[in-house]
Amino acid sequence: MPAAATELHALLGPGTRFEGKLAFEGRVRIDGTFRGAIQGGEALVIGEGADVEAEIDAMNVIVRGGRVSANVRATHAIELYVPAVVSGSLRAPQVFLDKGVQFSGTCEMTSEPAAPAWVPPGPGGPP
Mean pLDDT of 23-32: 94
Kindly write down the DSSP assignment for every residue of 31-86, as one continuous string.
-SEEEEEEE-SSEEEE-TT-EEEEEEEEEEEEE-SSEEEEEEEEEEEEEE-TT-EE
> Residues with Cβ < 8 Å from 4, sequence gap 6 or more?
none
Burial class (CB in 10 A: 0-12, 13-18, 19+), 112: exposed
Residue 14 pLDDT: 94
Mean pLDDT of 102-127: 68
pLDDT range class, residue 3, cuts 50, 70, 90: very low
What amino acid is encoded at 88 in this protein? G
d(CA 30, CA 124): 25
Q: Whole-prediction pTM value? A: 0.83
Q: Answer for the pair 91, 108: CB distance below 8 angstroms, yes or no.
A: yes
Q: pLDDT tens digits for 42-78?
A: 999 999 999 999 999 999 999 999 999 999 999 999 9
